[in-house]
Amino acid sequence: MTQGSSASTSDVDVETEVADWIDDHWDPSLTLGEWWQAMADAGLSHPILGEHAGGRGWSQSMAGRAMKLMADRNVVGPPPGLGTMLAAPTIADHGTPEQIERFIPPILNGRHAWCQLFSEPVAGSDLAGLQTRAEADGDEWRVSGQKVWTSQGHYADYGLLVARTDPELPKHKGMSYFAITMDQTGVEIRPLKEMTGRTFFSEVFLDGAVVSSADMIGARGDGWRVANTTLTYERTSIGAGSSGVTIAAPGSRADNFERSVGSIIEAAAQRRAGGHAPGPGMKLYHRWVDLARKLGRTDDPVLRQEIMELYTLLWVNRMNLQRARARSQRTGGEPNIAKLFDAEIHRRFRDVILRIVQADGMLSGESSTTDPVIASFVLHAQGPAIYGGTDQIQRNILGERVLGLPREPGPDRNTPFSQLPKNV
């Protein structure tokens, strides 16, 4: 991958440059569309991208400091979501110049939201076993199959689709990667409600959906390699956590472009005042510790030990991310390690807060006598060990690709996909 090549600008220079840019451009009366376009024009929507893709070629560390500065200055951050996290860097790495010019600018200015059409009911952990078919029809492909666990699918304008184009080839070689329009006949999106009460995932049914050959990212049959680029970005992003910057939903379906950025900042402040929890990082850690002190639970030696283990885990995860940014120290498994850390940190936060609040952790919203977000966080904490690749898959990858352990037994890798036993 080519993203994240370090520029010569120092971290201090980055902070100064971003601070000066905010001083020159921030105005609470601007619409979100105007603000995001200004950010995109300045190369600040995704500065890790190379200049050819609308970025600055900054390192992850430099971009992280820029995002933290935006959070500290209380301005709206760049367009969030899978377009920025996955689509833009994947297309920048594997797309043609025409695809980069066509797809990436509407991501950077927030006009298009994206989703990831990878997992299927019988191909989640074994993604290479996917059965969604794309059949050539002149200059187009007709796609049929089912995808599931599609994050923000009901808000997406485009999807990153992996489909089987050559079933007579081995399963890892017969897939291709497309950018597909979601708003079309042949694409049915059914949102899934989580036990938290939120709707984040969808299942997507494809029945003769059309995608142009011009929208194939990478070569025919090279979908597995392109998909692994996307998965690497996903695992790294999940493990890195949130910067705390104020965000707004991108895309034509959310249609936030005419909202003033000042009103978005005000709405975010109201949510935080109403008990909205930050992501699982140091801010949430201090929130839990303050609650333990308030309830007089800090004399419990077992709880104190669990709190210190959580604190240590947060710092070890931070050091792993720093190692990932230093090319000379990489093992190749840092994204998978970060993904494992993220799942474990969610579980530790869950266990610590339940020991602090005890039975009150079963009460949600206004019923809670301690913190109204706890029950929702506890219910959500099971998810990170599954989405984005299960913990077991991350360990398999580390064992095989980093430690050199033998791969799990299975059919010969050269067996044509059509001859493999299928899960039904």
Write down the pTM of the prediction: 0.84
DSSP classification of residue 83:
I
Helix ranges restricted to H, 203-281? 223-240, 261-273
Give the C-alpha distances (Å, rounded to integers) separating 40 from 34, 104, 165, 228, 282.
Answer: 10, 10, 35, 27, 30
- Report the range of poorest mean pLDDT among 15-24, 187-196, 215-224, 258-267: 187-196
* 228/65 Cα distance (integer angstroms): 27
Asked whether 112 and 303 are in contact (CB, 8 A), the reply is: no
| Active-site residue identified among 101, 135, 194, 234 | 234
CATH superfamily of 114-222: Butyryl-CoA Dehydrogenase, subunit A, domain 2 (2.40.110.10)
pLDDT tens for residues 7-49? 445 555 898 999 999 999 999 999 999 999 999 999 999 999 9
Is the torsion defined by CA of 223, 228, 231, 237 positive or negative?
Answer: negative
Longest C-alpha distance within the chain, in Å?
72
Would you state the structure tokens that stand for residue 150, as one six-digit string?
């599609």
Beta strands in 182-248 (DSSP E): 187-193, 199-212
Among candidate residues 345, 343, 336, the one with its CA nearest the CA of residue 398 = 336
User: Which long-range contacts (C-beta less than 8 Å, at least 24 apart) are formed by 392-401?
Assistant: 392/125, 393/125, 394/235, 394/336, 394/337, 394/339, 394/340, 395/340, 397/333, 397/336, 398/333, 398/336, 398/337, 401/332, 401/333
Q: Please confirm, yes or no, whether 234 is among the known catalytic residues.
A: yes
Q: Residue 260: phi, psi to the nearest 5?
A: -75, 145
Closest CA to 213 of 156, 145, 165: 165
CB 165 within 8 A of CB 175: yes
Taking the C-alpha atoms of residue 121 and residue 130, their distance in angstroms, rounded to an integer, is 9
pLDDT at 1 over 50: no
State pLDDT tens for residues 105-126: 999 999 999 999 999 998 877 8
pLDDT band at 77 (very low <50, low <70, confident <90, very high): very high
In the block, residue with structure tokens 């950018």: 179
Interval 170-196: pLDDT, tens = 999 999 999 999 999 999 999 998 887
Position 424 confidence tier, pLDDT thresholds 50, 70, 90: very low
Q: Give the contacts of 230 (CB within 8 A, at least 6 positions apart).
A: 86, 90, 116, 118, 160
Whether 274 has a pLDDT exceeding 80, the answer reads no
Same CATH fold assignment for domains 114-222 and 275-389 = no
pLDDT value at residue 155: 93
For residue 6, what pLDDT band results from cuts at 50, 70 and 90? very low
CA dihedral 354, 312, 282, 289 (to 10 degrees): 40
d(CA 158, CA 116): 9
Which of 214, 212, 230, 219 is closest to 134 using CA atoms?
A: 212
Q: How confident is the model at residue 256 (pLDDT cuts 50, 70, 90)?
A: very high
Which CATH architecture does the domain made up of 275-389 adopt?
Answer: Up-down Bundle (1.20)
> Do residues 164 and 133 touch, judged by C-beta distance below 8 A?
yes
Q: What pLDDT score does 280 carry? A: 81
Q: Where are the domains of the chain?
A: 114-222, 275-389
Q: Among 213, 197, 3, which Cα is nearest to 94's?
A: 3
Q: Give mean pLDDT, residues 77-86.
A: 96
Tokens of 418: 């059509």
Taking residues 296-311, what's their average pLDDT? 95
**Residue 49 has what pLDDT?**
96
For helices 261-273 and 32-41, angle between their N-to-C axes, nearest 10 degrees:
110
pLDDT digits (tens, 9 = 90+) for 327-352: 666 777 888 888 899 999 999 999 99
Give the torsion through C-alpha atoms of 65, 69, 70, 74, to 10 deg.
150
Burial (CB < 10 A; 0-12, 13-18, 19+), residue 403, is exposed
Residue 4 pLDDT > 50, yes or no? no
Query: Positive or negative, the Cα torsion across 162, 167, 173, 176?
Result: negative
Report pLDDT for 239.
63
Q: Give the pair of three-digit tokens for residue 304.
A: 């104190």
Q: In this structure, are residues 251 and 155 in contact, taking their beta carbons and an 8 Å threshold?
A: yes
Looking at residue 2, its pLDDT comes to 44
pLDDT for 59 equals 86
